[in-house]
Structure 1
Amino acid sequence: MAALLCGAAWAGEWPAKPVKVLVPYAAGGPVDTVTRMLMEITAKSLGQAVVVENKPGANTTVSTAALARSAPDGYTFGVVPAAYTTNQVLAKNLPYKATDLAAVSHMVNIPLFLFASPATPANSVAEFVAWARGKQPSYASTGPGSTGHLLGAMFSLSADLKAVHVGYTGSAKAMPDLMAGLVDYFFDPASGGMPHVKAGKLKVLAVSLPRRCDCAPDVPTMAESGFPDIVQSSWIGLMAPAGTPREVVERMSAEVAKAVRSPELHARLQGMGFGPVGSTPAQFQALIESDISVYGAISRKAHITLEN
């Protein structure tokens, strides 16, 4: 009872100073932008400043390792993308263990769309598969081990395509080659391809969500297109160092959820192609474990390593 009372009192005093949030990408990118939008609102509810610190590098592991080494005092949190799960599946000798971190909140979902080169004659997934089976198609990703890499391989296996993976250093590098017909397909967020679709320079065939995306209601799901096993998306979540007081983790989770669902932010996120979530710590942990299981199975079946 004394411990419970002490924990409740400690949580009631938190935060007594500014809170730091580590971001694994450079400033100005979509993950950084969404984090700053969320934390601006969260800071108002907490009554303390939330300082965003960018720590890019090594496919997000620089930032995550720094978070794992941080004191579990409730004043350092870290953003992790879906690459956090693919790193655990594919990377060797990570500078941290999964047990070094505690889930806080699945903040937003990032639907991945199947974009196709305008050089292909296909206007649907079925037409694309029929066309691609007579060739050796290629698919782009934002790098070996990325969510797009694994989803592209999953589609290739499901459709029985002899596809070749072409890894890029980012969506901005891959899109010009896709539009030029140098690669044939690419799973990427709406922000990367939809402007080109609207300009008539790219085709969008499907989205890998359980239901159609509010940001593109005319685009069918992969399940509607005959591939019910491809229901994966990218995401952005918040974590804390293991050992951070449970009361603080739950308070931060609740504040983030409130910010995500606020009228001022909800519509802005949807307009950017993000799906607002704001989960509990347990729900986010379940998502992490599910993705590790799914991506582990894909990587083994497709023989994917960080070298291919």
Structure 2
Amino acid sequence: MSIKTDATRLPRAARTAFLSRSLRSTLSSAGLFTALLTTALVSAPAAYAADAWPSKPIKVIVPYTPGGSTDTVSRVVFEKVAQSLGQPIIIENKPGANSTLGVGVAARSTPDGYTFVSILAAYSANMSLYSKLSYKPSDLVPVAEMAELPLFLFASKKLPVKTVGELVAYGKKHPDTLTFGSSGVGSSAHLTGERLAMESKVKMTHIPYNGSAPILPALVSGEVSVAFDPLLVPMPHVKSGKINALAVASAKRWPGEPNIPTMEEAGFPGFLMSSWTGLLAPAGTPQPIVDRMAKEIAAATASADVAKKLTDLGFVPVGGTSDEFRKLIERDTVRYAEIVKAGKISLD
């Protein structure tokens, strides 16, 4: 009596063995059998890894200090993603060298879906700020954008200006007197200030600080004339009359501050310089895992609680696909390279 076996009802391991026996009995060419079996064995681990992922905690490297924009967005988003995936997501801060230290660690990590790195727009700028990096763009793959970070132009009350037009006029009337602060050489705030100086044809001396925290007191005291910065920390001081908000460098006005014009409305067409934060994975990470993480990020940023947290902190929740994020990185790599070249800026 013969017993017919339905391979579709067998467990995965038994099904694989059954199919291998069937192939051996039906293929007359040993070479063909070997080729087919080799292909199956090579593809099986990747498929299995994607199906089983995640089976242990995931690490997300943040190449900045705790409490900054990248760290804040990562903790808000991945707290939600961890709940959905059913595995802890550990944030590991590795600051240094304008984020290149932590990014380099991620680039050299095993591409198994258990190591990722969160980045800011500075990742694109670093491509031209450094003549040599410890990694190549091809060493990492985009996963998804998480949030946009609009940059506002704030001015010291010591400066008699309330609009961008008045700022430009003042700078032309008083050459070599304007300064602008930033969170560091090569930061988005720095390059945005350089772009304003170039497009307005007004000389502004750059004063870099060690992070965003020192910029606000410098604005209040008049140590610096202006600075591009996210709205969260400076805005209460705008409300209290200690500093002025002149414009926002994004496509639309910020919903919570509709009286602040965009840079385009202030006379600078195409002046879109908002920063952003997103996630990368080591090259070779299985595409199904990349796609799954992108979907999890999109779901998290679309959720009411996460969206509210990010918006309250001055971020615009985004989400999206790997390809969309890749195009954003490439666009800003070109944009920042032009500013770096024109300003003769280097971090080497």
Same fold (TM over 0.5): yes
2:343 to 286, 295, 302: 302
Pairing partner for 1:74 from 94, 113, 125: 113
Alpha-carbon deviation of 1:306? 2.9
Partners of 2:128 and 2:256 in 1: CA distance: 31
In 1, Cα distance between equivalents of 2:333 and 2:109: 24
Is the deviation greater in 106-115 or in 42-51?
42-51
Q: Which residue, 220, 230, 233 being the options, matches 1:179?
A: 220
Question: CA separation in 1, counterparts of 2:104 and 2:44?
Answer: 32
Unpaired stretches in structure 1, ≥5 consecutive residues: none
Q: Go from structure 1 to structure 2 and tell me whether the alpha carbon gap of 1:69 and 1:7 turns closer, same or farther (over 3 Å shift).
A: closer
In structure 1, C-alpha distance between the alignment counterparts of 2:306 and 2:143, rounded to whole Å = 19
User: Which residue does 1:204 correspond to in 2?
Assistant: 245
* AA matched with 2:181: A
Partner SS, residue 115 of structure 1? strand
Cα distance in structure 2, aligned partners of 1:185 and 1:306: 23
Match for residue 29 of structure 1 among 58, 68, 78 = 68
| In 1, Cα distance between equivalents of 2:257 and 2:210 | 26
Give the match for residue 168 of structure 2: 129
- Aligned-partner Cα distance in 2 for 1:48–1:270: 26
Give the C-alpha shift of residue 280 in structure 1.
0.6
Task: Report Cα offsets for 1:251-283 as digits up to 9, x if no partner.
Answer: 001001100110111111111100000021101
Task: After superposing the two structures, state which structure 1 stretch, 269-278 or 25-34, moved more.
Answer: 25-34
CA shift, 1:28, in A, is: 2.9
- Opposite residue 139 of structure 1, the aligned amino acid is F
Matched, 1:269 2:310: yes
Q: Which amino acid aligns with 1:177?
A: A
User: Counterpart in 1 of 2:156?
Assistant: 117
Q: Point out where structure 2 has 5 or more consecutive residues left out of the alignment.
A: 1-38
The superposition leaves residues 89-128 of structure 1 with CA deviations (integer Å, 9 ceiling, x where unpaired) of 1113211111110000110000000001111111111111
1:10-54 Cα deviation digits (max 9, x unpaired):
322111111111111222333222211111110111111111111
Q: What's the Cα RMSD here?
A: 1.6
For 1:22, what is the secondary structure of its paired residue? Answer: strand
Comparing 235-244 with 2-11, which one deviates more in the overlay?
A: 2-11
**Letter of the 2:153 counterpart:** L
Paired with 1:289 and 1:195, the residues of 2 have a C-alpha distance of: 35
What one-letter code is carried by the residue in structure 2 that aligns with 1:130? A
- Equivalent residue, structure 1, for 2:202: 161
In structure 2, what residue type is equivalent to 1:181?
G
Q: 2:256 and 2:145 mapped to 1: Cα distance?
A: 19
Q: Is 1:253 aligned with 2:294?
A: yes
Partner of 1:42: 81
8 Å CA contact retained: 2:76, 2:309: no
Give the Cα separation in 1 of the matches to 2:254 and 2:47. Answer: 40
Partner of residue 108, structure 1: 147
1:147 aligns with 2:188: yes
Whether the aligned pair in 2 keeps the contact of 1:150 and 1:299 (CA below 8 Å) is: yes
| Stretch of structure 1 that moved more, 261-270 or 168-177 | 168-177
Q: Percent identity?
A: 45
Q: Using the alignment, how far apart are the partners of 1:60 and 1:150 within structure 2?
A: 16
SS of alignment partner, residue 40 of structure 1: helix
Query: 2:290, 2:269 → 1: CA distance?
Result: 35
Shift of 1:4: 7.1
Match among 19, 33, 52 for residue 13 of structure 1 = 52
Asked if structure 1 preserves the Cα contact closer than 8 Å seen for 2:117 and 2:281, the reply is yes
CA drift at 1:7: 4.6
**Where does residue 230 of structure 2 map in the other structure?**
189
> Corresponding residue for 2:12?
none
Deviation at 1:9, TM superposition (A): 4.1
1:107 maps to amino acid? M
Residue aligned with 1:126, SS? helix
* Matched positions, count: 307
Show CA shifts across 1:184-209 (max 9, x none).
11011112321221221111000000
Aligned residue in 1 for 2:321: 280
Q: In terms of mean alpha carbon deviation, does 212-221 or 237-246 score higher?
A: 212-221
Structure 2 residue aligned with 1:93: 132
Displacement after TM superposition at 1:81 (Å): 0.9
Counterpart amino acid of 2:68? G
For 2:252 and 2:137, how far apart are their aligned partners in 1? 31
Letter in 1 for 2:231: A
Look at both structures and tell me which one has the larger radius of gyration over its CA atoms: 2
| TM-score in terms of structure 1 length | 0.95
Cα displacement (A) at 1:304: 2.2
Offset at residue 302 of structure 1 (A): 2.2
- Is residue 70–residue 119 contact of structure 2 (8 Å, CA) maintained in 1? no
